[in-house]
A and B are shown apart, each in its own frame.
Chain A
Amino acid sequence: MRGVGGVAAATRRESGDGPLKLALPRGTLFAGTLELLDRVGVETRELRGDSRALVFDVRGLQLITMRPSDVPTYVEAGAADLGITGKDVLVEQRDRAVYELLDLRYGGCRMVLAGRAGDESLGESERRLGMMRIATKYPRTAERYFERTGRQAEVIDVKGSVELAPLVGLADGIIDLVDTGRTLAENQLEVREEIATYSARLIANRVSHKLRAPELDELVERIRRSTR
């Protein structure tokens, strides 16, 4: 909280009135999200176009598109009332105070520990050096996983293609999200341990969930029905 004037201007919420704001994930979850919105009867034509716009006003809703990992940030602060993002993001940012309302049952993928195919450097490092070096975009998930399984690891936080790290010797293995497993195979990596299975989730801001209950519940119920 810096200068309050600046803060207020930057995140003004139109006093919590107006249409419900729904934060949507760009990227791999986007196609499934558009399908879901179609089933629920939300207009997605503009979203599907090649517009560079980030905010779309459709009948009774404001749709805001962003990186999946930003969705909890916007929803927690109330800049969006509802949001869709992957469970992997919610697990990594587990201290965000948001309501997790629905498993949307698409965008299914696995969080795995992978190492180089036909190479024992993962096990070797653990045995001889006392810890593995693991590259990941999910450092907190990785740390918790090793803690839970009673092992030590040096977790290396990377932002781009994680598969690169074991290929050039930055790490012994990676922890990453796997959909079909093709990227792993193309980089001569193979799954060694499965950590969890994740899918897309619907989340809500704490205050919106209380103060806009009727309209929020109505939309959530429509979404629930379309996913069951």
Chain B
Amino acid sequence: MTHPIPPGTRDILPDEMRELRRLSLALIDAFERFGYGEVATPTIEYEAVLARGDERGAPVAYRFFDESGELLAMRSDMTIPIARLVANRFAAEEPPFRLCYLARAYRAVRPQRGQMREFTHAGVELVGAPAPAGTVEVIEVLAAALDAAGLGRAVIGLGDSELYKQLLDEVGVEPGARARVLDELATHDHVGLEAELERAELSAAEREVLVRLPMLRGGPEVLDEARELGGEATERATRRLAATFDGLREKGIADRVRLDLGLLRDLGYYTGAILEVYDPALGHVLGGGGRYDELMGRFGRPLPAVGFALYLERLHVAQAKEGVA
């Protein structure tokens, strides 16, 4: 007789746990070296508090009532609980705040390899440090964390979440079509994108820009290629990316970063720089992050902020495939 556990959850046995523990310690060590202090928040929060930060964020897997009828939810990431924590607990203190965490989070996803409903996020939040310096610092921490995990071949993708919103405003697309175009970009359906652009009554030149821009990814040369496509919004986005990239060069970590004008993440709260992490040995994304300069304002403490989260279990699979002992 076996006793079931909910779909998308799992038990971890000693051999795996030992390796996960070692990986966790290496990551937290790396975060602490850069002055990021570890925090923990409740696994359950009031649903209304989580929703304040994230109207169209990662799908919440579990909601329930407590004995007094309050609606609770399991957090779907740590960024929003930490935004709440900073607003509550550091209300009188001077920014910046450097915090890190290693915590379980829960998402309503179809359970499969590389995507569980319960998973562990390891990450940092830097609150009160604007772009580009704050972004550069967090990427430096991310690169160090990947090194600490033994994933020297891992690559950090860097994009700009404002680019397409601003570009579509610039060419003047009506709101319905704008939302559909952004959705095609976020789901990376380029066939759908071309169809939507055709329907949106844009000029051939404007369509060309919107079709070619998301395919530009690589070294700093892609910024020149993007600029050649033209447009105010493209100019501004490439300037933001170039500023970040210059900072990364000064730190000597530019070779870890791939610029990517097609990078879009589906969480609602990102503004400006967005990050994704890849390893050549793994088909799934290892983690991601970016700037969320407006999120803290929703908790009454407007501060620019940036962070990332790595999927601990995926890092571990990548370690196994890369032959990291």
Contacts and interface: CB of A to CB of B under 8 A. Distances in A.
Contact of B283 (A95, A201, A205, A214): A205
A217 to B, nearest CB: 7
Contacts of A11: 113
Interface string A73-116: 00011110000000000000001001111110000000000000
Contacts of B191: 100-103, 201
B293 to A, nearest CB: 25
Max chain A Cβ within 10 angstroms of own Cβ: one of B114, B157, B283, B285:
B283
A8 interface: yes
Interface in A212-226: 213-214, 217
Contacts of A77: 113-114, 283-284
B190 A78 contact: no
A170 B316 CA distance: 48
Interface string B2-32: 0000000010010010010000000000000
Contacts of B190: 99-102
B56 interface: no
A1 B110 contact: no
B320 A8 contact: yes
B281 A13 contact: yes
Contacts of A217: 215
Contacts of A99: 188-190
A210 B113 contact: no
Contacts of B110: 95
Interface string A124-161: 00000000000000000000000000000000000000
Contacts, number: 91
B283 A15 contact: no
A4 B318 CA distance: 10
A78 B282 contact: yes
A3 interface: yes
A39 to B, nearest CB: 19
B210 to A, nearest CB: 15
A15 B322 contact: yes
B278 to A, nearest CB: 5
Interface string B263-299: 0000000000000101111111100000000000000
A17 B16 contact: no
Given A1-B313, A100-B192, A210 B320 contact: no
B119 to A, nearest CB: 9
Contacts of B19: 4
B320 to A, nearest CB: 4
20 contacts: A1-B10, A4-B19, A5-B320, A8-B317, A8-B320, A8-B321, A12-B321, A13-B283, A15-B281, A15-B322, A16-B280, A17-B280, A78-B282, A100-B190, A100-B192, A207-B279, A210-B258, A210-B278, A211-B155, A214-B218
Given A100-B189, A103-B191, 16 more contacts: A1-B113, A1-B313, A5-B320, A7-B320, A13-B281, A13-B321, A77-B113, A77-B283, A78-B282, A79-B283, A100-B190, A102-B191, A207-B279, A209-B188, A210-B258, A214-B218
